[in-house]
Amino acid sequence: MEVTAIYLFLWLNSLHSAYTLVSVTVAPNRSQFFKYERFSVSCEGEEGGGALAGWIVMKKMEDGEESPCSSPCSITAAFPATDSGDYWCQSVLGATSNSVNIAVTDGSVILHSPVLPVMEGGAVTLLCVPKEKAPPFILAVNFYKDGLLVSRSSTPQITVHGISRSDEGFYKCNVSGGGESPSSWLRVRAPPAGQNAPSPGMTLHRLVCHVTVGVPYLVSTIILGLIYRDRKKGDTHMCTDTHTHIHMMLSTCRSTHTYIF
């Protein structure tokens, strides 16, 4: 029984490790790439520190096909049909991380926007990059959010300060006379706990994680407690029986001694 309890504890500990908070990261940190560019996708823990054992990168292409890749998943020459899509991390026990969408284009313009969520209250810079060096006579670079023009600039970048949830959306850009980029979703996340109240989605996510991890530990604690109680009860009975037996032997010895003398 004791050996079984130890194995149960080790199994629950491995289950807890599988539910460690993991996120998918992309290097370089952007969501759009030109055809034949190089990028990599990897799985990292909440504290960073490189790839995690037991986790792989999964990708889902635009046609719906899913396929695994090692972590880091290195793309040495990106193609629109095979490397555009959703990427996420998955453990051997089936736990999953957040997902990111990567667009690979054979067009003439891409938008450099962060692939990971940006923090509320911070700033984000969007950069419109033509495949070929822009000629000096280009007069305007247009930035769009959800299909609506939000900025017209003579420079290829804009910076949005004081990011809020209302800034989430699909962004794209075009260069006057140079083409248009694909659209990419900009995500905004709440600050770390203690700076501001977390969003309801984050609260629910953490609640599910704590319940998933806490319940097995509670069950294992109860089982180990019952095992300890039963063993202690057995030791108590053994001690009582031994004490009674010794007492009877002493009584017999006293009776014999009295009879001899």
Write the pLDDT tens digit of every residue in 109-129: 999 999 989 999 999 999 999
Lowest mean pLDDT among 29-43, 84-98, 218-232: 218-232
pLDDT greater at residue 21 or residue 85:
85
178 band by pLDDT with thresholds 50, 70 and 90: confident
Other C-beta atoms lying within 10 Å of the C-beta of residue 261: 5
**Which CATH number is associated with domain 20-106?**
2.60.40.10
How far apart, in Å, do the first and last CA atoms of the chain sit?
A: 53
Residue 192 confidence (pLDDT):
74
Question: Taking 70 as the threshold, does the pLDDT of residue 21 lie above it?
Answer: yes
Q: What class, spelled out in words, does domain 114-189 have in CATH?
A: mainly beta
Structural tokens at position 65: 């096909």
Residue percentage of the chain with pLDDT more than 70:
61
- With contact defined as beta carbons under 8 Å apart, do 104 and 33 qualify? yes
Residue 27 confidence (pLDDT):
95
What is the average per-residue pLDDT within 13-29? 68
246 band by pLDDT with thresholds 50, 70 and 90: very low
List where CATH 2.60.40.10 sits in the chain: 20-106, 114-189
What is the average per-residue pLDDT within 26-39? 96
Element (H, E) at 7: helix 2-18
Write the pLDDT tens digit of every residue in 193-222: 665 544 444 444 444 444 444 445 455 556
